[in-house]
């Protein structure tokens, strides 16, 4: 049975889940979530798919699962891929939790405020944006230092630790991240993109805005 992932291209968290599905070789298909028209806030979405009002949501038979990290771990357990060596399990989880707390939460918010919030409201959010970008600088520094002498975040191969931490860093919309400022992150992103089966988020999932495209 083909797994369904309710997602949309602009969602970095959806990308983490979609990329894990794609690179694991699981049969899956994207189901478009019209986020910018309020789909995730609708009562039927929250009652039938995810009471948290978020994407992505994975459907595999009777299983309904949300939260990108949980979906990634489900993919690892079902396919025995992208989890690293057995002794890497807790280190992989450590980086998934770190990303969701320190990197993706800030990156997702800043990217939304700078690209999708109506321009008339952005000036009022300038202090918040500056604060979050400062926190992101610290996160980039931690990530870059980790990658200074290794190809992958954990172990000797690509894992979901890499796929969670890269989730927002392949997007072209500006949010204060420049690959050229972080040599080790830049090289790591190149290694991920060179992995057979890798796709840009807008090639992997349908975007929710007609004007969204790779730049």
pLDDT tens-digit series, residues 1-15: 799 999 999 999 999
| Residue labelled with tokens 């009471």 | 51
User: Residue 12 domain-assigned?
Assistant: yes
Instruction: Verify that 8 and 97 share a domain, yes or no.
Output: no
Instruction: Verify that 53 and 69 share a domain, yes or no.
Output: yes
CATH number of 154's domain: 1.20.1050.10
CATH number of 31's domain: 3.40.30.10
The structural domain count of the chain equals 2
pTM: 0.94
Instruction: Verify that 182 and 119 share a domain, yes or no.
Output: yes
Domain residues for the domain of 54 are 3-82+199-204
Instruction: Verify that 135 and 45 share a domain, yes or no.
Output: no
The distance in angstroms from the start CA to the end CA of the chain is: 35
User: Residue 215 domain-assigned?
Assistant: no
Beta strand 3-7 with 63-66: parallel, antiparallel or unpaired? unpaired
Categorize the per-residue pLDDT at 213 as very low, low, confident or very high, splitting at 50, 70 and 90. Answer: low
Instruction: Verify that 56 and 23 share a domain, yes or no.
Output: yes
User: Is the sign of the CA dihedral 23, 4, 109, 171 positive or negative?
Assistant: positive
Angle CA 31–95–172, to nearest 5: 50
Instruction: Verify that 92 and 174 share a domain, yes or no.
Output: yes
Angle CA 23–190–20, to nearest 5: 20
Say what the pLDDT of residue 16 is: 98
C-beta of residue 70 within 8 angstroms of C-beta of residue 63:
no
Beta strand 28-32 with 3-7: parallel, antiparallel or unpaired? parallel
- Residue 163 and residue 161: Cα distance in Å, rounded? 6
Say what the pLDDT of residue 210 is: 66
Asked whether the predicted pLDDT for residue 208 surpasses 90, the reply is no
Instruction: Verify that 108 and 55 share a domain, yes or no.
Output: no
- Residue 205 and residue 125: Cα distance in Å, rounded? 29
């Amino acid at each position: 049975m083909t797994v369904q992932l309710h997602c949309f291209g602009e969602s970095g968290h959806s990308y983490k889940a979609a990329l894990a599905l794609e690179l694991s070789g699981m049969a899956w298909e994207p189901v478009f979530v019209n986020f910018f028209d309020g789909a995730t806030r609708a009562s039927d979405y929250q009652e039938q798919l995810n009471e948290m009002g978020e994407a992505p949501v994975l459907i595999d038979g009777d299983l309904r699962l949300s939260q990108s990290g949980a979906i990634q771990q489900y993919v690892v357990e079902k396919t025995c891929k992208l989890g690293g060596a057995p002794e890497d399990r807790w280190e992989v989880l450590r980086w998934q939790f770190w990303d969701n707390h320190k990197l993706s939460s800030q990156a997702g918010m800043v990217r939304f405020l700078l690209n999708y919030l109506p321009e008339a409201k952005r000036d009022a959010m300038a202090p918040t944006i500056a604060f979050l970008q400062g926190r992101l600088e610290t996160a980039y520094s931690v990530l870059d230092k980790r990658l200074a002498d290794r190809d992958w975040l954990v172990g000797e191969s690509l894992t979901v630790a890499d796929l969670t931490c890269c989730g927002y860093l392949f997007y072209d919309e500006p949010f204060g991240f420049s690959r050229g400022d972080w040599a080790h992150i830049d090289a790591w992103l190149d290694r991920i993109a060179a992995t057979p089966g890798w796709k840009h988020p807008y090639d992997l999932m349908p975007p929710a805005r007609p004007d969204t495209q790779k730049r």
